[in-house]
């Protein structure tokens, strides 16, 4: 499942935050359990189910399990990490400086080696009293926080926020500039992204399984040690080392999409060090992978129905005219996908790639993240459906996968799978389990359900076992935390925001009644004023406040 943040004003090439599978869509969350020991990170009070095959029992276990805070005192073995002083240097982007901070590869064995974390900041511009650092994370997992702060947050956040805070980003371990996980070459990824993930027979099913195995084996061959230590819990612990290195007593943070899970995990581990935390496009950490993917599937259907209602109001809608129901629009799109399954469309791409059903589906889903992309989607669908020109949908798909014009891919999809498959046991263990669940997924989304169900199989072949499990995060003792949910969010359904706000002991739920993925900085003056007041003055909203 994929939970990427895509603000309208951001450079899309720098952002990728939502079905994290390295497959069609990335799974959106992770668990948090590591081995016990002298330097143990955290433990779940009750161990959850070790298989995604029993959604009900796993959910019930998660309702009992909760993330336990770490001791306030820093263990002696970690003191050298906490005592680091960043050596700031220029990093090629005007106004920003960069540094490298070390963290232990394995927190249970700090002497076993380090992981190097890339950090970037833009210092507060003034006027006004400096409020410390504001860390930002765009989601994913796998989205580059440094790319996000340099392309958007550090220059596009409200001027009054940038005046008072140093804008800071750290790429989580395994992501972008922080020892990135690599899995496949560009040509190999091209083959992977075109794999048919709505198999019609045993031969196509075997082909999809081979693709998942090839992807997983590539990741395991490239990063065998790191792959065991890219969990969300470890990334959250890394943020506390960064906080200390920056000289801040508390962590101030804005996390979007998967970044909400990272931020909530930080609050759960270090409640007394949680400062002003904004969790925008929130995730529910108590869900097992299958339930998570199923609910995100329903979220994309909700977003698609909004797109469908908007599309038929325009004369250029290729999926139906005025008065066409969302159900019929969906049936028309599904018929188009089936046509591509039999005969991919030309794209004019120099490398000869054609628009397959899988690439077209990804292109449509990419546009669901931001209603500002709906016109582009209408135009791309018109070209593909009426002119057999798939170039527009290919552009949308390539943007989703962060594929550049030279055929190279960022490590987004690789890191996405690496984190997700470590954070939670797989949603499905076998193709037969997927087939059994297809009716449920297709009920959740007649358009996307089949593909999203098969995309959920990817972690079954991962080279390392999951260390996390579903759990609640309560963060007892933390200062007020603002949890933001959008009512028609495709990637992080609104129900998740309500669920997380119900778990966090100090949460204030802020609701945006609208479309798109996440809310801050997306055009709602009510949302922006409310969050700015919290960040600048420490004034949280009234719990349950709603904006439109």
CA distance 244 to 273: 10
Active site residues: 257, 489, 517
Using DSSP's 3-state secondary structure scheme, residue 280 falls into strand
User: Is the CB of residue 483 less than 8 Å from the CB of residue 497?
Assistant: yes
Kindly tell me the number of DSSP H helices and DSSP E strands found in the chain. Answer: 19, 12
User: Is the CB of residue 156 less than 8 Å from the CB of residue 7?
Assistant: yes
Task: Write down the residue that tokens 């490398």 correspond to.
Answer: 351
CA distance 83 to 300: 45
- Residue-wise DSSP of 188-218: HHHHHHTS-SS--SHHHHHHHHHHHHHHHHH
**251 Cβ neighbours under 8 A, 6+ residues apart:** 135, 239, 240, 243, 266, 270, 273, 274, 275, 277
**C-alpha pair distances (Å), 91 with each of 102, 407, 478:** 18, 25, 35
CA distance 52 to 153: 36
User: Is the CB of residue 298 less than 8 Å from the CB of residue 445?
Assistant: yes
CA distance 23 to 462: 12
Encoded tokens for 2: 């994929």
Per-residue H/E/C for 492-545: CCHHHHHHHHHHCCCEEEEEEEEECCCCCCCCCHHHHHHHHHHHHHCCCCCCCE
- Secondary structure letter of residue 151 according to DSSP: I
User: Is the CB of residue 274 less than 8 Å from the CB of residue 255?
Assistant: no
CA distance 423 to 360: 29
> What's the sign of the alpha-carbon dihedral 69, 73, 78, 80?
positive
Residues in the chain: 548
């Amino acid at each position: 499942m994929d939970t990427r943040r895509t603000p309208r004003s951001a450079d899309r090439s720098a952002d990728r935050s939502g079905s994290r599978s390295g497959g069609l869509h990335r799974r959106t969350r992770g668990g948090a359990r590591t081995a016990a020991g002298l330097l143990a990170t955290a433990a779940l009070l009750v161990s959850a189910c070790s298989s995604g095959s029993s959604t009900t029992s796993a959910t019930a276990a998660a309702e009992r399990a909760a993330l336990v805070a770490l001791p306030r005192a820093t263990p002696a073995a970690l003191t050298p990490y906490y005592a680091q002083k960043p050596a700031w240097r220029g990093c090629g982007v005007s106004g920003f400086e960069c540094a490298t901070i070390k963290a232990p590869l394995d927190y249970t064995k700090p002497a076993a080696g380090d992981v190097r974390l890339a950090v970037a900041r833009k210092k507060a511009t003034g006027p006004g009293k400096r409020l410390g650092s504001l860390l930002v994370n765009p989601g994913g997992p796998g989205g580059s926080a440094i790319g996000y702060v340099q392309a958007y947050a550090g220059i596009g956040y409200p001027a009054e926020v940038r005046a008072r805070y140093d804008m800071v980003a750290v790429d989580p371990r395994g992501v972008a500039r922080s020892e990135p996980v690599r899995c496949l070459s560009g040509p190999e990824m091209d083959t992977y992204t075109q794999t048919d993930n709505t198999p019609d027979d045993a031969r196509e099913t075997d082909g999809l399984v081979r693709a998942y195995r090839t992807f997983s084996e590539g990741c395991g061959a490239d990063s065998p040690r790191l792959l065991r230590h890219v969990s969300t819990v470890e990334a959250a612990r890394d943020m506390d080392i960064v906080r200390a290195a920056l000289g801040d007593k508390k962590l101030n943070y804005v996390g979007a999409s998967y970044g909400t899970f990272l931020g909530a995990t930080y609050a759960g581990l270090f409640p007394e060090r949680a400062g002003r935390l904004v969790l925008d496009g929130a995730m529910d950490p108590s869900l097992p992978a299958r339930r998570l993917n199923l609910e995100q599937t329903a979220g994309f259907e909700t977003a698609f129905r909004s797109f469908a209602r908007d599309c038929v109001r325009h004369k250029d809608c290729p999926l139906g005219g005025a008065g066409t129901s969302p159900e019929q629009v969906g049936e028309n799109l599904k018929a188009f996908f089936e046509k591509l399954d039999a005969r991919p469309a030309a794209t004019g791409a120099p490398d000869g790639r054609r628009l397959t059903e899988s690439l077209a589906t990804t292109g449509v889903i990419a546009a669901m993240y931001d209603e500002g992309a709906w016109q582009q989607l209408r135009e791309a669908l018109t070209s593909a459906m009426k002119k057999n020109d798939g170039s527009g949908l290919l552009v949308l798909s390539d943007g989703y996968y962060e594929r550049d014009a030279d055929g190279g891919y960022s490590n987004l999809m690789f890191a996405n799978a690496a984190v997700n498959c470590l954070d939670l046991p797989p949603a499905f263990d076998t193709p037969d389990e997927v087939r059994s669940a297809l009716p449920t997924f297709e009920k959740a989304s007649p358009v996307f359900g089949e593909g999203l169900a098969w995309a959920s199989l990817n972690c079954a072949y991962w080279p390392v076992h999951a260390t996390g499990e579903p759990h609640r995060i309560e963060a007892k003792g933390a200062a007020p935390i603002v949890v933001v949910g959008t009512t028609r969010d495709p990637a992080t359904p609104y129900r998740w925001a309500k669920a997380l706000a119900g778990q966090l002991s100090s949460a204030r739920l802020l609701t945006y009644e609208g479309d798109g993925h996440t809310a801050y900085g997306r055009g709602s003056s009510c949302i922006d004023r409310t969050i700015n007041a919290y960040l600048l003055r420490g004034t949280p909203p009234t719990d349950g406040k709603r904006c439109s």
